[in-house]
Every structure is written in structure tokens, then in C-alpha cells.
Homo-oligomer: A and B are copies of this chain.
Amino acid sequence: MSSTADSAQSARTEDNPIRVGVLGARGRMGAEVCRAVEAAGDMEVVAMVDTGDWMFDIADAGAEVVVDFTHPDVVMDNLRFCIDQDIRAVVGTSGFGDEKIATVRQWLEPKPELGVLLAPNFALGAVLSMRFAQLAAKYYDTVEIIELHHNRKADAPSGTAAHTARLVAQAREAAGMKAIPDATTHDPDGARGAMVDDIRVHSVRLGGLVAHQEVLFGGEGETLTIRHDSLDRKSFMPGVLHGVRAILDHSGLVVGLENLLDL
């Protein structure tokens, strides 16, 4: 994301940087976050915390926003602490189901001015892909999703693909569309892939790949394809920085980076 595109969303500068605390600072994602925050002109790292460190360092250092890429087992404690200390949070740790989300929402109730962002994917391209897929859904009778990842990935389909399928399905339902027409009558070995909310999802695993996704829409005589290729962990950083800047001006719980983008 270009820095200029963000200028309207942040009045903070080098003289008055946003004070950021990083949780999970020695992990691969956390270390990348530290580098990215330091490289940005309008924010600075004031505390780096990982297993064995004191959470109070975050508060003592006067952090305004915490970025959390830790582990499902500890993230709820981290969030409780931040909310208690009036520190905003940008969370990329996975494993937030309906229950955990409801708990965070409850914790935030007594603090209406405080903002927390939970996001399953910070790559701007992934977020834009999902948004465009939602917008296109009602214009095409048929749609399928192909996600392609390195062959060390254990689960299929990917969380982002499943989430995209859900968003597309909701958009179809909202438009009063019928089930996707499919003439397949003979598929003995399951070549047609998984059904996620009535949308076909295909998972490819291949050496050399990183993280890629295609949403394919098909209509009369034409197709529309939205493809996202994530080739480096760095691709998540513009989204994280955008989240840090944007959460300063938002209150309450925000689920999904797309809600902080001007789309």
C-alpha cells in the first residue's frame, strides 16, 4: 500500500509518532512487524514482548497500539490486559471463532472509546480479493475458488478460501440467487473438490508455491478471475501498518481489515 494513500487517515508524523508495542516480537511475523513499524515514518516500536517478558513493559512504555502475532493459547490474556490498560490492539493471531469474538466484544463494552481489530489475513490483496468477490457475486450464476499453497500446509481448504466462499455465498443469498447450476453426474473420485457453503473450493499443494488464490466467476460467454499471489511475509506489513493507523480513529471491535479500507 502506498504511504500517500494513507495520509488522510493519520495526522501522525516523525515528530509525533504512534507508539506501538509488539507482542510475539521474536516470532517470524512479530520480527517483521518490528522492522516495518521502524521503517514507517509515522510510528515507532516502544516495547517488544515475547514469551518470558513482562506484559507491563507494554504499559510502562506508553504504547498506544499493540500488535499481536502470538498464539491462540495466549492471545485472549493479552487482549484482556490491553483493554484493561486502555491500549488499542491489532490482532493477527489465528483461531478467533464466534465465542472468542463475543468475549472480546463484551470486554470492550465498558470502554466505548477503545478500538480492537481482529483480522484473519492482513495482505491487502487478499482483503481486496474478498471484497471484489463479494461485489461480483450477484452478477454471475457460477463461481468456484481455487487456492494454491506450498505442500507443507496441513489443512485444506485454506482459512482465507473458506472465508471467501462464505462471503460469496452470503452475497448470492442476499441477491436471492438460486443454487449454482452444475451438470456433474459422474465424479467417482471427488475431482469436483469441496463444498463450502455451496461453493466449490479446490486446494492445490505444490512445492515452490507460497500462498495464492483465484476466485473464478463464469457467465454467458465470459469469465472474471480475481487472483491474489502472496509471495512474502512482507505482504502482510502494509495491512498491519494500515490497521495500526486506522484503529486509532475507530472504537469498538472491528473484525476483518476490509472494514477499515475505503472500498
A positions within 8 Å CB-CB of B: 1-2, 4-5, 7, 123-125, 128-129, 131-132, 135-136, 138-144, 146, 148, 151-157, 161, 175-178, 180-196, 200-210, 216-238, 261, 263
Contact = CB atoms under 8 A, between A and B. Distances in A.
6 contacts: A4-B178, A5-B138, A128-B139, A221-B236, A224-B227, A225-B226
A221 B154 CA distance: 19
A218 B138 contact: no
Nearest to A175: B5
B182 A151 contact: yes
Question: How many chain copies?
Answer: 4
A238 B225 contact: no
Contacts of A236: 221
A206 B144 contact: yes
A261 B182 CA distance: 27
Given A2-B175, A190-B190, A227-B227, 5 more contacts: A128-B132, A143-B206, A220-B238, A222-B230, A222-B235
Contact of A222 (B146, B156, B231): B231
A44 to B, nearest CB: 19
B232 A153 contact: no
Closest 7 CB pairs of A and B: A221-B232, A206-B218, A189-B194, A221-B235, A222-B235, A191-B194, A221-B234
Contact of A193 (B7, B202, B208, B217): B202
A187 B203 contact: yes
A222 B226 CA distance: 14
Contact of A192 (B5, B188, B203): B203
Given A139-B2, A181-B151, A220-B237, A156 B230 contact: no
A218 B209 contact: yes
Given A151-B183, A184-B155, A194-B189, A207 B219 contact: yes
